[in-house]
Structure 1
Amino acid sequence: MENNAMLKPETAPLTACTVSRDVSNFDLLIEDMEAELGESWGDLTFEDADAFLAQSEADQLEFIAIAIDDQDEEDLTLISDTITTAIDKGIKVILIAEDVSPIALHQLLRMGATDFIPYPLPDGELHSAIERMRTPSAPDEPAVPQEMKSTLKPTGDREGMVMAVHGLGGGTGSTTFAVNLAWELANIDKDNSPRVCLLDFDLQFGSVSTYLDLPRREMIYELLSDT
């Protein structure tokens, strides 16, 4: 492992870098990076990252792995700048977070991070994230002709229920409760579970997709914008 990617880029072609306050706090990440990349990776502090990414040596990077914990939430602007700089250079970003608030995590993911992994790293998850990153994106599906679109209509033979979950203030756990409630309802009966639709109406800081490890989609915003 290169201890300083800025000083020794010539010793091994770097294909990736970790970026953190102190990479020694993420020993499992070090082990997984060495297992995946051998000696072809380096580590950077947040302060050094922007300077290195501006150098020509950074052009060969495939990705950076940004590792953060709750102590880094005071430096979100600096971390966001690093993500933006990497994305602008065509470098993928894997975000690794431990004990980070959903709001902070959501903010960083919206900056363009390619993937997210919780820390401590689950077995094989870094490998899976790298494989997903290297897999070419599927081409956009062609538009469905009007005559082939579904003509299914509501039949009125099903009963439904709307359950609203609202927190009285930030950080009260309303998202955690809503996600777990939806999960329990969807799995309440193995043979005949109800269909559950979970809608996150927090258009600014909504983090349901983060909890479920799903790509964020602005469906509600788009629906309201088109109304």
Structure 2
Amino acid sequence: MSSTPLYTVGVLALQGAFSEHLEYLAEASQLPRLAKHQFEFLAVRTPQQLQKCHALVVPGGESTSMSLIAERTGMLQPLVEFARNRPVWGTCAGLIFLASEICNGRPHQKALGAMSIRVTRNAFGRQLDLFDAPRDFGSFAPGLGEFRTVFIRAPVVSGPFSILENGLVVAVRQGNILGTLFHPELSGDCRFHGWFLEEFVVPAHC
């Protein structure tokens, strides 16, 4: 009898809202369609912890701080190498960290270059620090349907692999990499995390 594989999903815990992602992933793993799989979730702060993971979530926070901490702790190059072959999901600042080009980044700010996209930080201006709205993701994530999107000082993205609504890119996908400008971990709904597990994590480990 073959044993059920264990999927280890990390959340980068250098800075930002990593604990919320851990909670939502744990909740999503209990959804009926994922109940047959076994998952474990861990906060990732070292290259050794990263090596244990089959996939990684890079949370929102402050992209400049994330870059500096990753470089200072020796995590930057391991993250670059991880994203070449394994599933990674970045939300808001996490998406900025995954980009190949940051238009208004700080001096010496480094990114992972995992997605062929250009991002502009805080592009909506301080007057729109937070806004949310329901959006239909049926064409981007089949089966997900309408989902509440919460934006906090969101970047603007240009490049391929995008879903557009009124000219606004809200999510991008390129191979094994997923990016969202919004914060699913603040939506009150774990289905987006469930879709990441089902669509990215499980197939990559089969």
Q: TM-score range by the shorter chain?
A: 0.3 to 0.5
TM-score relative to the length of structure 1:
0.38
Larger Rg: 1
Structure possessing the higher relative contact order (Cα contacts under 8 Å, 6 or more residues apart) = 2
Identify the structure with the greater strand proportion.
Answer: 2
TM-score relative to the length of structure 2:
0.42
Identify the structure with the greater helix proportion.
Answer: 1
